[in-house]
């Protein structure tokens, strides 16, 4: 059998059979394991992609949760700051009231001390006036002066004493 393009003989049939046997073993031993390896790799890549997607979603959720917690913390900080300012203001007011009360008490004490000193000074002054009056009276008696000069002398002495009292 001889054809234009093909020439079949026993060697050709043997070569053809060995080619198909080789193809069978190549498919069985190389091609199918290669395809299964590709399928396995594709599954691994897909699972890694799914895992990465899930982790990305979890990270986004975590980021949102963290942002909300941060916002909540900032709100709490503002609340605490406001409360602290309020407490400081209240403390300042209480301290001012306490200091004003202490000042008022000190002023009252000073006034009472001044009043006491004033009373003592008046008593001392009265004592001195009495002594002076007695001294004046004794001088008047000692000087034998007529009635008119006695009155002028007494008036002058009393006016001097009243001027001293007014100046004090």
Question: Which pLDDT does position 48 carry in this prediction?
Answer: 94
Question: Which pLDDT does position 1 carry in this prediction?
Answer: 46
At 158, the pLDDT band (50, 70, 90 cuts) reads confident
| SS3 state at 2 | strand
The pair of three-digit structure tokens given for residue 160, joined into one six-digit string: 């001097």
Rounded to whole angstroms, the Cα distance separating 135 from 84 reads 74
The larger pLDDT score, comparing residue 137 to residue 33, is at: 33
pLDDT digits (tens, 9 = 90+) for 94-152: 999 999 999 999 999 999 999 999 999 888 888 888 888 888 777 767 665 566 777 77
CB of 158 within 8 A of CB of 133?
Answer: no
Three-class HEC string of 131-148: HHHHHHHHHHHHCCCCHH
Question: Which pLDDT does position 97 carry in this prediction?
Answer: 95
pLDDT digits (tens, 9 = 90+) for 54-95: 999 999 999 999 999 999 999 999 999 999 999 999 999 999
The larger pLDDT score, comparing residue 136 to residue 48, is at: 48
Question: Which pLDDT does position 6 carry in this prediction?
Answer: 63
The larger pLDDT score, comparing residue 105 to residue 8, is at: 105
Rounded to whole angstroms, the Cα distance separating 13 from 11 reads 5
The larger pLDDT score, comparing residue 47 to residue 27, is at: 47
Rounded to whole angstroms, the Cα distance separating 61 from 72 reads 16
Of 44, 23, 19, nearest to 32 by C-alpha is 23
Question: Which pLDDT does position 85 carry in this prediction?
Answer: 95
């Amino acid at each position: 059998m001889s054809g234009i393009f093909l020439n079949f003989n026993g060697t050709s049939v043997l070569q053809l059979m060995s080619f198909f046997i080789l193809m069978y073993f190549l498919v069985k031993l190389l091609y199918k394991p290669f395809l299964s390896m590709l399928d396995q790799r594709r599954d691994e890549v897909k699972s890694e992609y799914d895992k990465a997607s899930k982790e990305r979603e979890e990270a986004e959720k975590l980021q949102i949760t963290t942002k909300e917690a941060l916002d909540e913390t900032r709100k709490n900080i503002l609340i605490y700051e406001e409360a602290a300012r309020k407490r400081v203001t209240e403390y300042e007011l209480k301290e001012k009231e306490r200091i004003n009360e202490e000042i008022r008490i000190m002023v009252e004490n000073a006034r009472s001390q001044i009043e006491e000193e004033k009373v003592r000074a008046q008593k001392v002054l009265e004592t001195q006036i009495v002594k002076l009056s007695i001294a004046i009276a004794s001088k008047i008696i000692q000087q034998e002066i007529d009635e008119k000069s006695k009155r002028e002398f007494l008036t002058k002495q009393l006016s001097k004493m009243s001027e001293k009292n007014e100046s004090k």
